[in-house]
Amino acid sequence: MIYVFIIMVVVTAASGAIFKPGAWYESLAKPSWTPPNRVFPMVWTTLYIMMVIAAWLVWRQAGMSAAIVLWGLQLVANLLWSALFFGMRRMELALIDALILWVLVAAFIVVALPHAVWASVLFIPYLCWVTIAVLLNFTIRRLNPNIGQARP
């Protein structure tokens, strides 16, 4: 089953390669606290490894459970964010997705805890990073009010 978790994470990670920031993102006004671009691949690689380990730990203890369902749902939300923000340039939809992702990650932490404490612990840095992403998405949207809006 660990191979399934790895494949799911690799597919999700590929969305970051498909929907690259590019010139459009570089042209946006961003807050001074925006992490440098070189940080993102290092952080995401680490987080994806931790996600696979967390899923495996829960799977070994609880099998197909609510925690595993939440784990899969957070991956879907994770994948959608890149498509919405970079692919479709819809910052407001990406923000909604990021908020949903935050809730799913937090829910995984809570639901996985009785099955595998370390799985929950491994998701705490992810929750912190998603919190930064939500704040960054919100701030970039606020600094660029006429970019990435729904078209009439």
Quote the tokens at residue 37.
Answer: 């671009």
pLDDT, tens only, 90-145: 999 999 999 999 999 999 999 999 999 999 999 999 999 999 999 999 999 999 98
Cα(104)–Cα(67) distance, rounded to whole angstroms? 10
Q: For 28-92, give the DSSP string.
A: S---TTPPPTTHHHHHHHHHHHHHHHHHHHHHHHHSS-HHHHHHHHHHHHHHHHHIIIIIS--HH
Q: Is 125 helix (H, G, I), strand (E, B) or coil?
A: helix
Q: Which amino acid is at 69?
A: V
pLDDT, tens only, 31-66: 999 998 888 888 988 998 899 999 989 989 887 899
The structure's pTM equals 0.85
